[in-house]
């Protein structure tokens, strides 16, 4: 039973005890010797067997372990204030205590020792567990309660809730994400009517408002699989997105009810909502599916139906070179990108307009492909038809990710 106390343990304990330690701190100098007991039990046994004195207050920890139950109560209160399937306890220890511990190890050696922080985490966790009745999760806890042992205060770190789905954008007057006012950068000024935004709403806000309310969270972040222009609609089955909801107090979301709530909006709609993993944010950002568009094209001049069809056919599986469009050159590097027009069909030819249905490689600037962008995109539809063309309206009708 007592054979764990060998010569090394005995020497370390005797040296440590001279400083006047509590049973926890004495036991911790030999934490890796002898299993199936707590550091306190270990310390008591060492004191008993080796005739060492225990001290109060402890010169190392100041008897911090007497407050473990109080810390645990504070942890429980904080954790129970939010919904979670699991939790983890962490703590911040007074740096002076950590310093004194390191100083002690210089004399006793640290090969058998355990840092005070890990004993506190474990003891507070043990005391909190019966009060909380949720599983302890080390790898990816939904809630981490960090106790500052100097003040017995608790900070809660709540993992965000991620909701994935597909959205439709039904307005040509809202951007995909919140767009801060250029003049005031979000602070609020006369130009933006004190809203701090360039547009009154966005797909992000139409979805994020109800979603944030559903989880009682603090902030939303929007991650889309690419984005469309403000004046373009997103139709069909929608565009994949993940919305990240920070500091949620609830995690158990009724997704059907949320979908119905969001879909009362006339600006944006969602479908196929589901709870997602954090890793899907990176996946969605890295995806480069082709897109299918419907574009209403205006032509300066008379359109010949056969000619338009012929030109459309000639673009099938054709590569075009696009120099960064002038309209985005202020935020993108000026370079030439080669993109493929996968297919192109003509619908509804009128006298000076027609409707184009086209599938293009991810990253193609469709408006510039149609207009030629002053020679920056070549070949272009205008060039091939020999007539200047512009896009009047543009709708994304499919994101071909599945
Ligand atoms: Zn102590
Ligand atoms: Zn402003």
pLDDT in tens, 127-185: 999 999 999 999 999 999 999 999 989 999 999 999 999 999 999 999 999 999 999 99
pLDDT for the residue numbered 1 = 52
- Beta-strand runs (E) in 189-279: 219-224, 232-246, 268-276
CA of 201 to the centre of ligand 2 (A): 14
CA of 386 to the centre of ligand 1 (A): 87
Q: How far apart are CA 248 and CA 211, in angstroms?
A: 10
Residue 214 token pair? 């559903």
Q: Where are the domains of the chain?
A: 7-158, 161-286, 290-400
CA of 61 to the centre of ligand 1 (A): 4
Q: What is the CATH number of domain 290-400?
A: 3.30.70.3190
Q: Would you say 373 and 325 are in contact if contact means Cβ atoms under 8 Å apart?
A: yes
Binned at pLDDT 50, 70 and 90, residue 327 comes out as confident
**CATH number 3.40.630.30 given to 161-286:** no
The catalytic position among 63, 229, 231, 237 is 229
229 tagged catalytic: yes
Which ligand number lies closest to the CA of residue 94? 1
pLDDT for the residue numbered 51 = 95
Per the prediction, the chain carries an average pLDDT of: 95
Cis peptide before 57 (omega within 30 of 0): yes
Q: What is the pLDDT of residues 282-322, one digit of tens each?
A: 999 999 999 999 999 999 988 889 999 999 999 999 999 99
Q: Would you say 259 and 238 are in contact if contact means Cβ atoms under 8 Å apart?
A: no
Query: Looking at the predicted structure, is the pLDDT value of residue 337 above 80?
Result: yes
pLDDT for the residue numbered 156 = 95
- 161-286 and 290-400 have identical folds: yes
> 3-class SS at 69?
helix
């Amino acid at each position: 039973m007592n054979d764990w106390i060998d010569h090394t343990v005995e020497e370390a304990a005797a040296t440590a005890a001279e400083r006047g330690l509590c049973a926890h701190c004495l036991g911790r100098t030999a934490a890796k010797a002898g299993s199936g007991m707590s550091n306190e039990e270990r310390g008591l046994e060492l004191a008993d067997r080796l005739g060492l004195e225990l001290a109060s207050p402890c010169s190392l920890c100041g008897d911090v372990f007497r407050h473990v139950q109080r810390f645990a109560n504070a942890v429980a209160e904080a954790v129970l204030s939010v919904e979670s399937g699991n939790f983890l306890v962490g703590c911040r220890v007074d740096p002076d205590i950590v310093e004194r511990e390191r100083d002690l190890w210089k004399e006793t050696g640290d090969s058998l020792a355990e840092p005070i922080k890990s004993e506190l985490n474990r003891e507070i966790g043990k005391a909190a567990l019966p009060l909380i009745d949720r599983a302890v999760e080390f790898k990816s806890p939904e809630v981490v309660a960090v106790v500052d042992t100097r003040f017995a205060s608790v900070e809660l770190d709540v993992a965000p809730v991620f909701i994935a789905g597909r959205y439709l954008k039904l307005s040509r007057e809202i951007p995909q994400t919140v767009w801060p006012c250029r003049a005031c950068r979000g602070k609020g000024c006369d130009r933006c009517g004190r809203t701090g935004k360039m547009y009154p709403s966005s797909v992000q806000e139409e979805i994020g408002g109800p979603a944030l309310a559903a989880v009682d969270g603090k902030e939303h972040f929007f991650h889309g699989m690419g984005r469309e222009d403000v004046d373009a609609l997103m139709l069909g089955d929608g565009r994949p997105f993940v919305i990240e909801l920070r500091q949620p107090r609830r995690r158990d979301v009724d997704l059907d009810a949320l979908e119905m709530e969001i879909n009362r909006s006339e600006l944006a709609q969602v479908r196929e909502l589901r709870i997602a993993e954090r890793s899907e944010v990176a996946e969605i950002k890295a995806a480069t599916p082709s897109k299918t568009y419907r574009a209403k094209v205006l032509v300066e001049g008379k359109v010949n139906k056969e000619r338009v069809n012929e030109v459309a056919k000639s673009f099938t599986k054709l590569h075009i070179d696009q120099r960064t469009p002038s309209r985005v050159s202020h935020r993108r590097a000026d370079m030439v990108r080669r993109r493929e027009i996968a297919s192109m069909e003509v619908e509804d030819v009128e006298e000076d307009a027609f409707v184009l249905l086209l599938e293009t490689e991810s990253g193609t600037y469709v408006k510039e492909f149609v207009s030629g962008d002053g020679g920056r995109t070549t070949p272009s539809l205008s060039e091939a038809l020999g007539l200047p063309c512009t896009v009047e309206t543009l709708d994304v009708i499919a994101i071909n990710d599945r």
